[in-house]
Amino acid sequence: MSTLSAADVPSLPRGVRLRFDTVRNKHMLLAPERAFGLDAVAASVVELVDGQRSVGAICDLLAERYGEKREVIEGDVIAMLDDLLTKRVIER
């Protein structure tokens, strides 16, 4: 599977939801018969995956929010989203 680029527009497939689990006290990415625990940073990325924003736009928002260089953030965001793409809990 190829790597996402800044121009790709990721989305959550049908049946995949981001929820906060009060028992586990963490964000969970819920898919049919699977669940993935997310740390706060990963959850902040997935919250921006809406099928409207490109990976580049997501990186711009996160760079502004966290006061970090976009180039640094983009590599990490693409790596994380590629992993979720491989697990089929996001799509492009």
Sequence ranges of the domains in the chain: 17-86
> What fold characterizes domain 17-86?
Arc Repressor Mutant, subunit A (1.10.10)
**Which pLDDT belongs to residue 46?**
97
Q: Which residue has the tokens 């929010």?
A: 65
Tell me the residue ranges of DSSP E strands in the chain: 17-21, 26-31, 34-38
**Please, are residues 58 and 48 in contact by the beta-carbon 8 Å criterion?**
yes
pTM: 0.87
- Mean pLDDT of each 10-residue bin along the chain, 92 residues long: 86 96 94 93 95 96 93 93 94 91
